[in-house]
Amino acid sequence: MPKIDKVIPFDDQNILQIFYGSERSGFDLGNATDYKEVRDYILSQKNFSPSTEKLGNAGAIVKPALYTLVVGIFSAVLVYMAKELESGNAVTVSGSRKGFKKILLLIAETLGFYGCLALGIVATAGFVIYTIKQIKNSKTEVTVYK
């Protein structure tokens, strides 16, 4: 029988993650009393010492990454509209979200191709930096028993 190397309790979610050898298992216990009973039993079987570790949280970067993607798409549409206007072609505004498209068209007319390009680069770069900061700060400290 493999020995337990490390236990990570997630008290707020009633989950135990147990590492043994090169394997790991997670246990989602239904209620708090069962969770505490199982956690205390496992921790009493070996002389575990508590320490803190930083664990990555992949779910924390999904929103900022989506925001960056949306800003990049809007920037590309804005630059495309400005390029079409500068080349003398008419940009048609039809379909749903007509008001939003008119606003983009007004911005494209006002700023021109290079202005829209600069705005798109700055806005997208800002959201990329925000996403990178979220990735770096997404680690949470948890108590680990080894």
**According to the model, what pLDDT value does residue 102 have?**
93
**According to the model, what pLDDT value does residue 92 have?**
87
Bridge partners of 24, per DSSP, are: 19
Q: What are phi and psi of 12, to 5 degrees?
A: -70, -20
Bridge partners of 7, per DSSP, are: 18, 145
Q: Average pLDDT, whole number, for the chain? A: 90
Which tokens is 55 given? 């664990």
| HSE, side-chain direction, 13 A CA sphere, residue 29 | 17
Where helices occur in 1-146 by DSSP H, the ranges are 32-44, 62-86, 98-136
Residue 52 near residue 38 (C-beta atoms within 8 A): no
Mean pLDDT of 74-89: 95
24-28, 80-84, 133-137: the lowest-pLDDT one: 133-137
Residue 56 has pLDDT above 80, yes or no: no
Residue 124 near residue 70 (C-beta atoms within 8 A): no
